[in-house]
Amino acid sequence: MPNDDIYRKQTFGQKTGFGRRPILLVVDFVNGFTDPEVFGGGNIAEAVAATVPLLAFFRAQGLPVGFTRIVYADDGSDCGIWCEKVPRLRELTEAAHQSQVVDALAPRPGELVIRKTQASAFFGTHLAGVLLSKGVDTIVMAGCTTSGCVRASAIDAMSSNFRLVVASDCVGDRALGPHEANLFDIGQKYGDLLSSRAIMDEIAAVA
């Protein structure tokens, strides 16, 4: 990992904390990203397991919960350059098993599900508007991959002026090198890093 002395000297890594109303945003924990034969591998399965109690906590607290899925049209009409770079993304259609949120984290009726065609949960979606309408000012993020959709969503969360807390044990990647490097970088530039246990403790203390 990088020597963080230079980051501290340049005032990176400051804590922004929680606002008044957090949402748990579960990014792309779908079947295809937990299957090493499709898009999975690395520590993604462990991150899914760690997210189960965090999701249960948010539901028990009556706090909002949201999910993202990558979903393309059956005929590929909305596939862009990303699908040229990663052709198997075309398999993530609305009804495809690979595109469904894993059973352990399955959305309940009334919970937000954002369908996207790019890495960021914000790009080309109505996510920011929905969050603002719900009074959300803080995003607690879980999901995969740390170097891909989590990082892209983290950057856009900060760019949209939401406070961001990444649940460090609830994000994963198919390779640990990119996971660790991007998690460090997110913590220095875009949001806070806390374990799921620490997140629950902080929210419970305020509640």
Q: What is the pLDDT of residues 33-80, one digit of tens each?
A: 999 999 999 999 999 999 999 999 999 999 999 999 999 999 999 999
Q: Is the pLDDT of residue 2 over 90?
A: no
pTM of the model: 0.95
Supply 199's token pair. Answer: 């997140």
What gap in Å lies between CA 167 and CA 156, rounded to an integer? Answer: 17
Tokens encoding 38:
């499709």
Residue 3 has what pLDDT? 73
Per-residue pLDDT tens over the stretch 125-181:
999 999 999 999 999 999 999 999 999 999 999 999 999 999 999 999 999 999 999
Task: Return d(Cα 115, Cα 77) in angstroms, integer.
Answer: 15
79, 83, 144, 149: the active-site residue: 149
Q: Is 83 a catalytic residue?
A: no
State which fold the 18-206 domain adopts.
Rossmann fold (3.40.50)
pLDDT of residue 1: 57
SS3 label, residue 38: coil
8-state DSSP, 98: G
